[in-house]
Structure 1
Amino acid sequence: MSVASPRSRTQGAVNGYEARWEQHNTERQRTILRAAVELLEEKPLGADIPVVQIAKRAGVAKSVVYRQFSGREDLDRRIRSYLIDDLGAVLDAQLDVSAGSVREIITRTVRAVADWMGDHPNLAAFARTGPPAGGPDAVDAISSLKSRISARSGELIEAIGEIVGVDAAALEPVPFAVVTMVEGVLAAWVADPRPSRTRAEMVDDLAGYAWYVLDGAARAVGITVDPDRELSDVVADLAGAG
């Protein structure tokens, strides 16, 4: 039986300490970010939220916030990342093509965006004020999320295209066009103090528009899809016909 040397035991203890300290810092950062998000929800739209208020809500000293984040700009970027990562995870789940028809997948994804933007207008507005962590300065967090969801949708279309034997390159602009339309229309709807359409009506309208775009693009490459059939069945049929 081998016995670890004192040096290796010491290194192991150091590594364990560093891992625990990193976890502690991660948990503190999340607590601070959650506190900032809560305050953004509670304050009037566009109101300044001092770091001292965030620290108080998080239950830490102001100095702790500045130990966890390099400055206010870093904190704001991390808040935006926290917001769009949360929404992005929800949208990824709604874009699961293994369950539901095309119409159902589109509708539930649009509804997720409408619910988030409608229920959290302050958070959506803050996400537009600047870039997320690690993002280019010229791209705000909402635009960054649109690009991420467009890329995810493009990957799904490309994968389906490979299965059914169709070159999906012609469909490359479609996801970004649809995502931009949905976000832009919903942003205007949220900003309207007296919207003429209910949330449910907006979701139905936008899901319909998105389907028209996708249907037209699919027909352009020789594919006709029944939007109300289970997508997995449609793909299987198209693959068999090919």
Structure 2
Amino acid sequence: MTSSGTPPDGRATRWAGQRERRRREFVEAGMRAIARYGPEVSTEQIADEAGVARTRIYKHFSDTADLQRAIALRAAEMIGAQFAPLWGVSGTPREMVQATIGAHIGWLSEHRALYQYLMRQSVTGPRDVVADVKAAIARQLTVLFEYYLGLFGADQRVAETIAYGLVGLVESSTAHWLDAPGGFDRGELSDLLGRWVWSILDDTLRSVGIVLNPDSPLSELDFRRL
């Protein structure tokens, strides 16, 4: 019922649903156009990809910034879906580290133009999706680190700093690698970052007197105090 007590207009409901569907279609066209034309894609190119005139897009988006915001939100959903399965993964510390790093490198490699588009929008656009995503991953890692540090009776205050530092390390290193591979292939980069990340985690644990076997499943903790 509406505020006036009358049933909602079925035509208005259908129109709202159709408008939302068309917005999604234009966003998906925008994603394809970014992959085809690169991070400097224009609204005209997005319209061409969608098979409509440029003015048609503005019947569904208030302006270019509105379209860019919708594309950024869709990208954030994609990245979230990529990482969601990792938070329930069990196994050895080394496997968990490599799985997370591999997912990060994989997404950036497969969506390089989109990542560069998002980076451009973080400077000129209304939303810094890259920062939002990095913060979301870091928060998840913080919870994970706090749990295990607490399990070992260690100081949990370092968890957040380590989490944000590691996310920054992996993201910035991978972004640079995309522009200047330096002879490293994707697997080599993943292994290198994995060793660095584990070294930081291992040093943190050792500083509180804990030695953790990186190849022992966390369900069967193999650690001792120094």
Query: 1:233: Cα distance to partner?
Result: 2.9
Match of 1:76 in 2: 68
1:156-205 per-residue CA deviation (whole Å, 9 max, x = no partner) reads 2223344554441122200111111111111111101x631111100011
User: Once superposed, what is the RMSD of the aligned Cα atoms?
Assistant: 2.9
Cα separation, 2, equivalents of 1:232 and 1:18: 54
Match of 1:175 in 2: 163
Query: 1:219: Cα distance to partner?
Result: 2.4
Match of 1:156 in 2: 144
> For 1:109-124, what aligned pairs fall within 5 Å after superposition?
109-124=100-115
1:130 equivalenced with 2:127 (yes/no): no
Taking structure 1 as the reference length, what is the TM-score of the superposition? 0.78
Residues 110 and 182 in structure 1, CA contact (< 8 A), matched pair in contact too = yes
Q: 1:156 to 1:60 in 2, by over 3 A?
A: farther
Residues 95 and 105 in structure 1, CA contact (< 8 A), matched pair in contact too = no
Cα separation, 1, equivalents of 2:168 and 2:104: 12
Match of 1:104 in 2: 95
Q: 1:212 to 1:17 in 2, by over 3 A?
A: farther
Residues 171 and 217 in structure 1, CA contact (< 8 A), matched pair in contact too = no
Cα separation, 1, equivalents of 2:20 and 2:148: 38
Residues 80 and 127 in structure 1, CA contact (< 8 A), matched pair in contact too = yes
Residues 178 and 210 in structure 1, CA contact (< 8 A), matched pair in contact too = yes
Residues 129 and 140 in structure 1, CA contact (< 8 A), matched pair in contact too = no
Cα separation, 2, equivalents of 1:176 and 1:35: 33
Taking structure 2 as the reference length, what is the TM-score of the superposition? 0.83
Given residue 25 of structure 2, which amino acid in structure 1 is its aligned partner? T
Q: Out of 178, 184, 188, which is 1:197 matched to?
A: 184
Gaps of 5+ in 1: 1-6
Residues 102 and 230 in structure 1, CA contact (< 8 A), matched pair in contact too = yes
Query: 1:27: Cα distance to partner?
Result: 2.5
1:37 equivalenced with 2:38 (yes/no): no
1:92-144 per-residue CA deviation (whole Å, 9 max, x = no partner) reads 322334x2211111111111121222222211111101239xxx95x733222
The aligned length equals 221
Cα separation, 2, equivalents of 1:198 and 1:34: 30
Query: 1:226: Cα distance to partner?
Result: 1.5
Gaps of 5+ in 2: none
**SS of the residue aligned with 1:224?**
strand
